Amino acid sequence: MNQAEFTSSCPIPIRQYPRVLLAHGGGGKLMHDLLEKMFFAAFGEAPPSGRHDSAVLDFPTGRLAFTTDSYVVRPIIFPGGDIGSMAVHGTVNDLAMSGARPLWLSAAFILEEGLPMETLWGVVSSMRDAAARSGVRIVTGDTKVVDKGKGDGLFINTAGIGIIEHSQVIAPGRVQAGDAVLVSGDLARHGMAIMSVREGLEFQSRIESDSAPVSGLVLKILAAGLELHCLRDLTRGGLSGALNEIAEAAKRRIVIEENAVPVREDVHAACELLGLDPLHVACEGRFVAFVPPKDADQALAIMRQDETSAGRIGRVEAGDPPLVVLKSAIGASRILDMPSGEQLPRIC
């Protein structure tokens, strides 16, 4: 089926089955229909190797980056995205953090019996769009259906392969004293968008997830010939989680200016309301970059072409033990610690 034949509604004959049945994972006709009418329809035909147990792909010369991630987000659909777009962006972004150009993804679905077929189609369509936006192809996949009550609607695992077309090593070990710390845009939107629709915590807001691919931006910075010492996407644990991991791995001290950290006003307000620190809250389309001082201004300028809220938030210093220090809004210093466990809203 080609692109022009896509429809926005759930494809026939799946509509004869408004909900996912165990048989959709059973290897018979229903599963065949599901693959044919939903997954191949959305993700395109099999690679030149044809439909087979594995995709066979021509790999360009160079180093490859390989990553995998599983997605269990609740609710499945949230303001600014859904589990499908997130499963594509998340894995694409993990590849981008090595400076790789993402090429191919796998997509494995664990579906709970009874999942509305329309919901699945919505998620699959959103994966198709996210893959197109990110410049990757979904070339292999898997579907399993579990009994009602044994899953939570829908889980997705994606793995990704990308090619590294430059000679830099982008890793925590390369972080040096003097490096500038840049963030690619305002923080905490994804986590607060999810929080605003989570059962029991709903509050009215216009906060949408920042879920988006960042590979294009990273490749643009590399294409400008700039040096990047380390990149890290700001998912679970938010900025403080990422910085603490890097400080630890690089054996360096990272000093952040609280006032320089970009957080949108409504996001900040929602965090204040729930007693959460925006620096601990997850993003899905933001990363932190450690850039040598000579290239920092230019890297920031490129980031700002995509996202005006990108900012320079601090620097790396020598220092033992490795830790993250935050210069507070009123000018005093404190540790910025890694969050412990799940972010729990406070009482009053």
Partner 1 sequence: MKYLDEYRDAAKAREYARQIARVTTRPWAIMEICGGQTHAIVKFGIDELLPQSITLIHGPGCPVCVTPLECIDKAIEIAARPGTIFCSFGDMLRVPGSALDLLSVKAGGGDVRIVYSPIDAVKIAAQNPAREVVFFAVGFETTAPATAMAVHQAAEQGVKNFSMLVAHVLVPPAMQALLSSPDCRVQGFLAAGHVCAVMGCAEYGPIAAKYRVPIVVTGFEPLDLLQGVLMCVRQLEEGRAEVENQYARVVRLEGNEHARQLVRQVFEIAPRKWRGIGEIPASGLRLRSQYESLDAVKRFGLADHDTAESAECLSGLVLQGRIKPAECPAFGKGCSPEHPLGAPMVSSEGACAAYYRYRSRDPEPALTHKS
Which residues of the shown chain bind partner 1 in the complex (CB under 8 A)? 199-201, 203, 265, 268-269, 272, 274-275, 321, 323, 325, 328-335, 337, 340-341, 344-348
Rounded to the nearest whole angstrom, what is the least distance from the CB of residue 84 to partner 1 in the complex?
26
Residue identified by tokens 């494809």 is 11
Which CB, 29 or 346, lies closer to partner 1?
346
For residues 166 and 222, the answer to whether their CB atoms sit within 8 Å is yes
Cβ neighbours around 105 below 10 Å, total: 28
Which CB, 50 or 341, lies closer to partner 1?
341
Rounded to the nearest whole angstrom, what is the least distance from the CB of residue 287 to partner 1 in the complex?
24
Classify residue 200 by its DSSP letter.
T
Which CB, 249 or 269, lies closer to partner 1?
269
Which CB, 53 or 265, lies closer to partner 1?
265
For 12, 53, 115, 241, the CA distances from 42, given in Å and listed in that order, are 13, 19, 18, 35
Which CB, 261 or 300, lies closer to partner 1?
261
Identity (one letter) of the amino acid at 317?
A: E
Rounded to the nearest whole angstrom, what is the least distance from the CB of residue 304 to partner 1 in the complex?
22
Which CB, 54 or 328, lies closer to partner 1?
328
- Long-range CB contact pairs, 268-271, < 8 A, 24+: 270/192, 270/195, 270/196, 270/203, 270/205, 270/207, 271/188, 271/192
Rounded to the nearest whole angstrom, what is the least distance from the CB of residue 323 to partner 1 in the complex?
6
Rounded to the nearest whole angstrom, what is the least distance from the CB of residue 320 to partner 1 in the complex?
9
Plot region of 324 (φ>0 → left; ψ -120 to 50 → alpha; else → beta): beta
The span from the CA of 33 to the CA of 331, in Å, is 62
The span from the CA of 247 to the CA of 178, in Å, is 13
Q: Give the closest residue to 284 by CA, choosing from 222, 192, 216.
A: 192
Rounded to the nearest whole angstrom, what is the least distance from the CB of residue 295 to partner 1 in the complex?
30
